[in-house]
């Protein structure tokens, strides 16, 4: 059974400086699909200029597209990882697009939360 650890950005940075790249995995496939949907709606593609497959898997093509988006909105360092650094730099209009994508790709509960404006 896998264990989940929640660490601060400072701890994450310390770990990365010692061990190199550490990727984050979100437990929600709906959130992963929402990220892919969002990047497609924003026109960010992989390095082959292909739209992302909305399958809930955050592989290399998503990382490439997310890195392009992070560069555009001023995230530093650009790491291709969806997290607080990316979310804090998103313009309000992008936040609304992202919420819509999470609702679109999510469960009936996600759709209800979005409909009620609670997201």
pLDDT digits 0-9 by tens, 20-53 = 555 555 457 888 999 999 999 999 987 788 899 9
d(CA 92, CA 115): 18
The answer as to whether 7 is a domain residue is no
Q: How far is CA 17 from the centre of its chain?
A: 22
Task: Read off the pLDDT band of 2 (50, 70, 90).
Answer: low
Name, in order, each residue with C-beta under 8 angstroms of 73's C-beta and a sequence gap of 6 or more.
86, 89, 90, 91, 94
Residue 2 counted as domain residue: no
Please check whether residue 10 lies inside any domain of the structure.
Answer: no
Domains: count for the chain: 1
Which residue range is the domain that position 70 belongs to? Answer: 27-115
Tell me which of 28 and 98 has the higher pLDDT. Answer: 98
| Mean pLDDT (whole number) for 77-86 | 90
């Amino acid at each position: 059974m896998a264990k989940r650890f929640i660490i601060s950005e400072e701890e994450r940075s310390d770990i990365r400086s010692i061990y190199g790249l550490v990727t984050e995995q979100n437990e929600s496939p709906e959130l992963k699909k929402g990220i892919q949907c969002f990047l497609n709606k924003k026109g960010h593609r992989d390095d082959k200029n292909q739209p992302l497959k909305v399958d809930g898997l955050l592989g290399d093509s998503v990382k490439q597209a997310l890195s392009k988006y992070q560069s555009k909105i001023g995230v530093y360092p650009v790491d291709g990882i969806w997290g607080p650094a990316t979310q804090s730099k998103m313009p309000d209009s992008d936040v609304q697009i992202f919420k819509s994508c999470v609702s679109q790709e999510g469960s009936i509960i996600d759709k209800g939360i979005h409909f009620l404006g609670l997201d």
